[in-house]
A and B are shown apart, each in its own frame.
Chain A
Amino acid sequence: MEEPPSHLNDRSRYVLLLPAVLVVLFLSVFPLLLSIFTSLSKIRFVKGGFEIEYIGLKNYEKLLQGSGQRRFLGRFDDPTTFGWIILMVFIAVMIYWLFRYVTGPRRRLFGVLMRVITIIIAVELLWLVIRTSSGRGLPGTLVVTLIFVFGGVAAQYILGLFLALLVTQNLPGKRFFRVVFLLPMMITPVGIGFLFRMLTDTLIGPMAPMWKVAGLYNFSWVNDPATARLAVIIGDTWQWTPFVFIILLAALEGLPTETVEAALVDGANRQQMFRYILLPQIIPVSTTVILVRIIEAFKIIDMPNALTGGGPGIATESVTLHAYNLWRGIDLGTSSALAYCLLFVATFVALVFVNFIRQRLLESI
């Protein structure tokens, strides 16, 4: 049989790839580009469709400096002495980190530039957190989201790792618990939101008798900003710890037994075994699972929406819920602008984690 000409072979590659590329463009890239335009526009619904008016950066201006600032960024107050100390220490650490890079053997101009930009944004974010947490300051939806991200992911990693270590022990019923620990991940997030809404109801919820015994009857978890945020983090942790657990369990079970046996022969105790043998070996998987959870956690909406409705006030309103509420109010432009602000922050945190923290941890193994 005669071979087709080579130029047809070359073209057939593009023809075969084209459908997939078109699908990606149509479903992902075009909407992304369109939403950029939306964020720069004011949209009005009229008979037969909608009117779009290009307004430049006004939606962003509204969020960062205008009437939306208080809700998105928060209310500012002068930092306390403690706040100043934290900021100064952080800046000093950042400068030291930059200094080490600049004086190190692997310095490059691009690397210096990226680090300077990273330091500026990180200091800005910390400055925002400090000023909205001081005195009469109030965190906006951005800071609330950061609390959910860092509080939730830290709790999920610690618990997930603990459970994974537990299940790798030769304990009775470990197969059963392996399945049980996974169950929360299978439930729809809104369902978990409503579940925790019932559990935190100290008056008529199923846990009311227990709350009563604990002296917490007539107390509402969701009326106080701090406990409401805690309730959201607990609910989110309950749902997503299984994800961390199953990944870390796979990593632990896949470790070669020789190093563990060698450590045992050398007389390593449990703490030493964990610190020097197990933990370094699961760091690549750990950093990956943390990165995935950080990216996902930035998008949190179901739990605060179902559990607290974003309240009290805006104490538990995440950026995604904020954007959703703006969308409900037919403010599509500001909602899109907010989504891009979130995308910027989430990308920044993910890049910092990948390039500086994950890299550093991997190099330390």
Chain B
Amino acid sequence: MRKVTSVLLIVLLAAISLVSTGISYSQDKPFEGVNITVLTFDGPQIAEPLQRHAPEFQELTGAQVSVVTVPFADLYQIILTDQATGTYSYDAFVFAPQWMVDFANAGYLEDLTPYVEADADIQWDDIAPFFRNFSAMYNEKIYLIPLDGDFHMVYYRTDVLAEAGLEPPKTWDEYLVVAAALNGQDMNGDGEGDYGSCISKRRSAQAWQWFPSFASPFIQSLGTEQGAFFDTTTFEPLINNEGFVRALEIYKETGQYGPPDEETLDVGGTRTLFVAGRCALSLDWGDIGSLAVDPEQSIVQDKVGAVITPGSTEVIDRATGELVPCTPELCPYAVDGVNHAPVASFGGWSGGVSSGISQEKKDAAYAFFSYVAQPAQANVDVTIGKTGFNPYRISQFQDLTPWLAGGFSEKAANDYLGAIRDSLNNPNMVLDLRVPQNQRYQQVVTDPILSQFLAGEYTAEEAAQEISDQWEEITEEIGREDQLAAYIASLGIQK
């Protein structure tokens, strides 16, 4: 009966969405004959909702949308080279907002501010302020349309932890204790031992994005403006310190309680393991929450809880780089002595429009992103696991109806949204690194060194030193003062 009700609700919501958006476009087909090509990564998440909505959008507006996908590791350079060389093979892109700084500075992205201002259907004020003001904007202009909201969270098996008398971890040390205690237990009833922790660590994928969630609680405690990547006075990397080294050790130790091929698993692999009931804990964006309620993929429906990423009871003394216990002065936002620093990692996949294409195509590309982002589509998409879209609109946090229709129980929905809300509202939230060429600092330098560290090719201290040295080399090459100014601006520091 509940399933029938859910299906009816989804059909109803879809019908409402078609009717409501139809009002905007039903007078004629303003983009008849216009073809736009949208580039994104080969998820299949993220591309799925774009591909699914493309025919609907064509029906409404006449514009034909082709979605082209490439591996994540190639996405940045393909956008860059396509635009820089004036090839314009792609009209629009769905990518990581932190790259916006490179693309907007070079003039590759269309300023979407006037488009948004003239578009009531997108309901811009309904987009949560963080995504509306940080992920979408650069230099006070809107360049991106948020389609997704991203925060790291720790997921846990409520049944397995309860049976073992364990609480969800509040610190990374507790995470290791819980993972160690549950590792090897059969959690899906197949008679095989399962894993205490599943965290994707595959190189050249998105695994490097986890690490700031391990390191940040040891490094940032005085609020978002303190910064977790660079010193805000010298722009020296906050890497060569005991906190970063401790985070590396924890990151590596989680692997002892994980699947044997964790270092080659991408995030899709760990999600599959989790919803197959093989993991007690996992670190992920919002995706596991909605995948876990999908009856086609999950055997852990209503057995999954989510909490803010674990914190630390120690933070570094920035003068010495040594770890010191949290005090009310050092960790003013600590809860029960635990300093949390949730990372707004990735900032949510967002759509940008090329500045080098015809006005007709720009209009069509913007209209497509607007259509996908409108509450009628977005509020349903975020409840479906395979979309990869996570909540980013205020209404998505307030109205449980789509979540219940999507298969969440009320408790699971509140738990899931509560964990995201805790992160989103945390005054010590860590913002993604958004300085010019941030992709080089993180994807090009940090990713392979983390992989080498996991493989035993570096000690924690050596890995920290190597990352720090290479970050400094990039900074010297680009210019320290410019990078510092960009970093300060990205943190919203008024000086």
Which residues in A have some Cβ–Cβ distance to B below 8 Å?
Answer: 45-50, 67, 70-71, 75, 138, 197, 201-203, 218-220, 222-223, 225, 308-315, 325-331
Once A67-B473, A312-B451, A314-B448 are accepted as A-B contacts, the answer to whether A329 and B439 lie under 8 Å apart by CB is yes
Min Cβ gap B387→A in Å is: 24
A311 touches B264 (CB 8 A): yes
Q: Choose the segment among B32-40, B295-303, B340-348, B454-462 that binds chain A (4+ C-beta atoms closer than 8 Å).
A: B454-462
Once A203-B260, A218-B260, A311-B263 are accepted as A-B contacts, the answer to whether A47 and B451 lie under 8 Å apart by CB is no
A203 touches B451 (CB 8 A): no
A313 touches B260 (CB 8 A): no
Once A311-B455, A330-B80 are accepted as A-B contacts, the answer to whether A47 and B263 lie under 8 Å apart by CB is no
B residues near A197, Cβ cutoff 8 Å: 264
Min Cβ gap B282→A in Å is: 16
Task: Judge whether B325 is part of the interface by a CB distance below 8 angstroms.
Answer: no
B264 touches A47 (CB 8 A): no
Min Cβ gap B432→A in Å is: 18
B455 touches A313 (CB 8 A): yes
Complex alpha-carbon distance, A76 and B154, angstroms: 40
A residues near B80, Cβ cutoff 8 Å: 45, 330
Would you give 29 A-B contacts (Cβ < 8 Å), ordered by A? A45-B81, A45-B84, A46-B84, A49-B86, A71-B448, A197-B264, A203-B261, A220-B259, A220-B260, A222-B261, A223-B260, A223-B262, A223-B264, A311-B202, A311-B263, A311-B264, A312-B263, A313-B451, A313-B456, A313-B457, A325-B444, A325-B448, A326-B444, A328-B444, A329-B439, A329-B440, A329-B443, A330-B77, A330-B80
Q: Which residue of chain A has its CB nearest to the CB of B472?
A: A67
A47 touches B107 (CB 8 A): yes
B residues near A71, Cβ cutoff 8 Å: 448
Q: Which residue of chain B has its CB nearest to the CB of A322?
A: B448
Q: Within the complex, which residue of B204, B451, B457, B473 is in contact with A138, where a contact is CB–CB below 8 Å?
A: B457
Q: Within the complex, which residue of A219, A309, A312 is in contact with B454, where a contact is CB–CB below 8 Å?
A: A312
A313 touches B454 (CB 8 A): yes
Q: Within the complex, which residue of B84, B86, B202, B444 is in contact with A309, where a contact is CB–CB below 8 Å?
A: B202
Complex alpha-carbon distance, A201 and B260, angstroms: 10
Q: Which residue of chain B has its CB nearest to the CB of A217?
A: B192
B86 touches A48 (CB 8 A): yes
B residues near A309, Cβ cutoff 8 Å: 202-205, 264
B residues near A310, Cβ cutoff 8 Å: 203-204, 448
- With contacts A203-B260, A313-B456, A329-B444 known, what are 13 further pairs, Cβ within 8 A? A45-B80, A67-B473, A70-B466, A75-B457, A138-B457, A197-B264, A203-B259, A219-B260, A223-B455, A313-B457, A315-B455, A315-B457, A327-B77
A328 touches B73 (CB 8 A): yes
A45 touches B106 (CB 8 A): yes
Q: Which residue of chain B has its CB nearest to the CB of A310?
A: B203
A residues near B204, Cβ cutoff 8 Å: 309-310, 325
Complex alpha-carbon distance, A125 and B108, angstroms: 45
Complex alpha-carbon distance, A311 and B73, angstroms: 15
Complex alpha-carbon distance, A309 and B455, angstroms: 13
Task: Judge whether B482 is part of the interface by a CB distance below 8 angstroms.
Answer: no
Task: Judge whether B56 is part of the interface by a CB distance below 8 angstroms.
Answer: no
B residues near A203, Cβ cutoff 8 Å: 259-261
A residues near B106, Cβ cutoff 8 Å: 45-47
Once A67-B473, A330-B77 are accepted as A-B contacts, the answer to whether A222 and B264 lie under 8 Å apart by CB is yes
Q: Within the complex, which residue of A202, A218, A219, A225 is in contact with B455, where a contact is CB–CB below 8 Å?
A: A225
Q: How many B residues have CB within 8 A of the partner chain?
A: 38
Interface contacts (Cβ under 8 Å), in number, total: 105
B residues near A328, Cβ cutoff 8 Å: 73-74, 76-77, 444
B264 touches A49 (CB 8 A): no
Min Cβ gap B391→A in Å is: 30
Q: Which residue of chain B has its CB nearest to the CB of A68?
A: B470
Complex alpha-carbon distance, A225 and B452, angstroms: 10
Min Cβ gap A341→B in Å is: 18
Most buried by A among B259, B443, B453: B259
B residues near A138, Cβ cutoff 8 Å: 457
B residues near A201, Cβ cutoff 8 Å: 261
Q: Within the complex, which residue of B108, B440, B455, B473 is in contact with A47, where a contact is CB–CB below 8 Å?
A: B108
Closest 5 CB pairs of A and B: A313-B455, A312-B455, A329-B444, A313-B452, A45-B84
Task: Judge whether B139 is part of the interface by a CB distance below 8 angstroms.
Answer: no
**Which residues from 23 to 68 on chain B have a C-beta closer than 8 Å to any C-beta of chain A?**
none
**Which residues from 348 to 405 on chain B have a C-beta closer than 8 Å to any C-beta of chain A?**
none
Task: Judge whether B249 is part of the interface by a CB distance below 8 angstroms.
Answer: no
B residues near A49, Cβ cutoff 8 Å: 84-86
Q: Which residue of chain A has its CB nearest to the CB of B450?
A: A313
Complex alpha-carbon distance, A314 and B458, angstroms: 11
Q: Mark B232-265, 1 if CB is under 8 A from A, else 0.
A: 0000000000000000000000000001111110
Complex alpha-carbon distance, A197 and B265, angstroms: 11
Complex alpha-carbon distance, A195 and B131, angstroms: 40
Once A47-B84, A202-B260, A309-B203 are accepted as A-B contacts, the answer to whether A67 and B73 lie under 8 Å apart by CB is no
Q: Within the complex, which residue of B264, B444, B469 is in contact with A308, where a contact is CB–CB below 8 Å?
A: B264
Complex alpha-carbon distance, A327 and B74, angstroms: 10
A residues near B264, Cβ cutoff 8 Å: 197, 220, 222-223, 308-309, 311-312
A residues near B455, Cβ cutoff 8 Å: 223, 225, 311-313, 315
Most buried by B among A70, A219, A222, A328: A328
B residues near A329, Cβ cutoff 8 Å: 77, 439-440, 443-444
B residues near A326, Cβ cutoff 8 Å: 444
A residues near B74, Cβ cutoff 8 Å: 328
Complex alpha-carbon distance, A327 and B264, angstroms: 22
A residues near B466, Cβ cutoff 8 Å: 70
Min Cβ gap B467→A in Å is: 11
Complex alpha-carbon distance, A312 and B260, angstroms: 12
Min Cβ gap B470→A in Å is: 6
**Which residues from 446 to 495 on chain B have a C-beta closer than 8 Å to any C-beta of chain A?**
448, 451-457, 466, 469-470, 473
Complex alpha-carbon distance, A45 and B436, angstroms: 12
Complex alpha-carbon distance, A45 and B260, angstroms: 41
Complex alpha-carbon distance, A50 and B106, angstroms: 11
Once A48-B86, A331-B444 are accepted as A-B contacts, the answer to whether A311 and B203 lie under 8 Å apart by CB is yes
Complex alpha-carbon distance, A325 and B454, angstroms: 19
Q: Within the complex, which residue of A50, A67, A222, A314 is in contact with B84, where a contact is CB–CB below 8 Å?
A: A50
Complex alpha-carbon distance, A48 and B106, angstroms: 9
Min Cβ gap A216→B in Å is: 10
Min Cβ gap B105→A in Å is: 9
Min Cβ gap B227→A in Å is: 24
B77 touches A314 (CB 8 A): no
Q: Which residue of chain A has its CB nearest to the CB of B443?
A: A329
B residues near A219, Cβ cutoff 8 Å: 260
B residues near A46, Cβ cutoff 8 Å: 84, 106
B residues near A48, Cβ cutoff 8 Å: 84, 86
A residues near B76, Cβ cutoff 8 Å: 328, 330
A residues near B85, Cβ cutoff 8 Å: 49-50
Once A47-B84, A50-B84, A312-B451 are accepted as A-B contacts, the answer to whether A223 and B263 lie under 8 Å apart by CB is yes
Complex alpha-carbon distance, A188 and B84, angstroms: 31
Min Cβ gap A322→B in Å is: 9
Complex alpha-carbon distance, A322 and B263, angstroms: 19
Q: Which residue of chain B has its CB nearest to the CB of A218?
A: B260
Q: Which residue of chain A has its CB nearest to the CB of B454?
A: A312
Min Cβ gap A278→B in Å is: 43
Min Cβ gap A334→B in Å is: 11
A202 touches B261 (CB 8 A): yes
Complex alpha-carbon distance, A330 and B443, angstroms: 11
Complex alpha-carbon distance, A222 and B74, angstroms: 23
